Structure 1
Amino acid sequence: MSGNKTVVKSLEILQLFYAHERLTLQEMVDLLTLPKTSLHRQVKALEEMGFLTRDADGKYALGLIFLELGQLVAERLDIRRIAFPYMCRLRDEVKEAVNLIVREGDEAIYIEKVDTQNPVRLYTRVGRRSPLYAGACSRILLAFMSPEEAENYISRTDLKAIASGTITDRNELREVVARARMHGYSVSYSELEDHSAAVAAPIFNHRGQAVAGLSMAGLEAHYEDENLTLLIQKIKQTAGEISRQLGYKQQAR
């Protein structure tokens, strides 16, 4: 059976549970009219991956992984909806592109963007991915992982240069990450694209977890001296406002 057919059959099995809370293997066979041996093999694989669970009576139900995934999807959609007006306001105030990013594995993914009207724009788009070590936009997520998880990532990741300013030294990355966590923001220059700069701050949920990052990005010349101080203040303030909308209770940092 091809990989595509296997995926389709697995989805058909899972869709049975839209209408049925629990099913035996035989009930699934009857509903799908599939060979019992083939179905059993697929059900077993789904159980091993956590998509199905089996009780003492031998009946199957959807696994808790769907609750976790559902919460994750709902949370991300909620963040986009809540963050968007704040992102628009920030863009209008500072005239820079504003991005909303979340972690997906060892990468950051852009899930929302509000572009600037400046004639020279950077290449970013919704759906773009970047490694967690490169650029303030991505690195703010690395900085607010647990220290153990962050160190594990830094130790095992091949730090490849993407642009002229990409950090490729592990000890330097550790120092930059530590400063970002201490001060609540990260700044980068020419790390994902030459002559570009970015500043980012974390967004926290009601549990105090950093679930997203808010960043603004533009040309390096706009991220210097007094202007940089203002941009840092603005990004932290806006990220804090979004966090409070997500139920975050500000604590002394």
Structure 2
Amino acid sequence: MSNDHQTPGAQSLRRALHVLRTLAVDHDSGMSVTEVIASTGLERSTTHRLLTCLVEEGFADRDGKRRYRLGLEAMRLGFASMSRAPLVASYERLLKWLCMKTEDTVFLIVRQGDYSVCLRREEGAFPVKIFSTRVGDIRPLGIGVGGMALLASALDEDIIRIKSRHGKQLESAGLPSGIIDRVISRTRHKGYCEMLDTVTQGIAGVSAVIPEPSGTPFAAITVAGISQRMTTERRGELGQLLISALNEHA
């Protein structure tokens, strides 16, 4: 970390940022204190003090096995800077077109580790708006139709780990393991995800992942509206519309 032009008096801040960058490299599996020490070269007492502070402030997270990952506050900062990210810019016209076509609310959802984050929302002409999801909202994968679409696209072992780690939050949202498994199976069969009155009563949505030829999809587009509008037939139509639109855009 040596640099002839480092700002005097900022050593502690610089060390904390170095720890954050280190956690970001291995966010999915997490890192032990020993692994952070090996990667940063910091002393154990310094590393432990910085990690404890980062956890207290929400910039790092420690699980039951004492492994550290980026926390929600770190994610919020990262995604706050992405309002004009290449992904948003690339899909902005499609989001607006879907919004005009459906008259409902359209969301761009991305995956970050175990979580889904709303990057963009477009509101349609229908007078009843959907406020259950806002830009910057972060939820465990599976909570919300976009997060469920992304969860269904994950590897089976990844799904098992996420269900185990976030089981309490998923169950609190009305999503016990059995329901999640059924939704994932249906999503994989149809190619899109649909949820009705599951997380928020009176709200329904349809979501499909953005094709990712080089690996596992990390983003999805969702159309959401009040349940009365989202009949079985309309959900099917929206699902096919999303699949077609995303394939044409790819």
State the TM-score bracket (shorter-chain normalisation). 0.5 to 0.7
In structure 1, C-alpha distance between the alignment counterparts of 2:225 and 2:197, rounded to whole Å = 10
* CA positional deviation for 1:217: 0.1
- C-alpha change, 1:45 and 1:184, in structure 2 (3 Å) is same
For residue 104 of structure 2, what is the amino acid of its counterpart? E
Give the equivalent residue in structure 1 for 2:156: 147
Where 1:210 maps in the other structure, the secondary structure is coil
- C-alpha change, 1:234 and 1:45, in structure 2 (3 Å) is closer
- Judge conservation of contact 1:91–1:116 (CA < 8 Å) in 2: yes
Aligned pair 1:91/2:99, yes or no? Answer: yes
* CA positional deviation for 1:31: 3.2
TM-score by length of 1: 0.66
Give the equivalent residue in structure 2 for 1:106: 114
Give the equivalent residue in structure 2 for 1:62: none
- Judge conservation of contact 2:100–2:125 (CA < 8 Å) in 1: no
Q: Which runs of 5+ in 2 are unaligned?
A: 26-38, 42-78
Where 1:145 maps in the other structure, the secondary structure is coil
- Judge conservation of contact 1:98–1:214 (CA < 8 Å) in 2: yes
For residue 214 of structure 2, what is the amino acid of its counterpart? R
Aligned pair 1:189/2:189, yes or no? Answer: no
In structure 2, C-alpha distance between the alignment counterparts of 1:98 and 1:33, rounded to whole Å = 44
- Judge conservation of contact 2:194–2:235 (CA < 8 Å) in 1: no
- C-alpha change, 1:204 and 1:31, in structure 2 (3 Å) is same
Where 1:121 maps in the other structure, the secondary structure is coil
Give the counterpart of 2:172 among 161, 166, 180: 161
Q: Which runs of 5+ in 1 are unaligned?
A: 1-12, 14-24, 55-71, 245-253
* CA positional deviation for 1:83: 0.9
Give the equivalent residue in structure 2 for 1:46: 18
- C-alpha change, 1:233 and 1:45, in structure 2 (3 Å) is closer
- Judge conservation of contact 2:209–2:221 (CA < 8 Å) in 1: yes
For residue 18 of structure 2, what is the amino acid of its counterpart? L
* CA positional deviation for 1:198: 0.2
CA deviation vs aligned residue, 1:169-212 (integer Å, no higher than 9, x gap) = 21221221122123211111123321110000000234143020
Where 2:235 maps in the other structure, the secondary structure is helix
For residue 171 of structure 2, what is the amino acid of its counterpart? K
What percent of counterpart residues are identical?
Answer: 23
- C-alpha change, 1:93 and 1:151, in structure 2 (3 Å) is same
- Judge conservation of contact 2:110–2:218 (CA < 8 Å) in 1: yes
Give the equivalent residue in structure 1 for 2:238: 231
Where 1:217 maps in the other structure, the secondary structure is strand
TM-score by length of 2: 0.66
Give the equivalent residue in structure 2 for 1:32: 6
- Judge conservation of contact 1:135–1:189 (CA < 8 Å) in 2: no
In structure 1, C-alpha distance between the alignment counterparts of 2:105 and 2:182, rounded to whole Å = 27
Give the equivalent residue in structure 1 for 2:33: none
In structure 2, C-alpha distance between the alignment counterparts of 1:195 and 1:143, rounded to whole Å = 23
How many residues align structurally? Answer: 194
* CA positional deviation for 1:160: 3.4
For residue 214 of structure 1, what is the amino acid of its counterpart? I
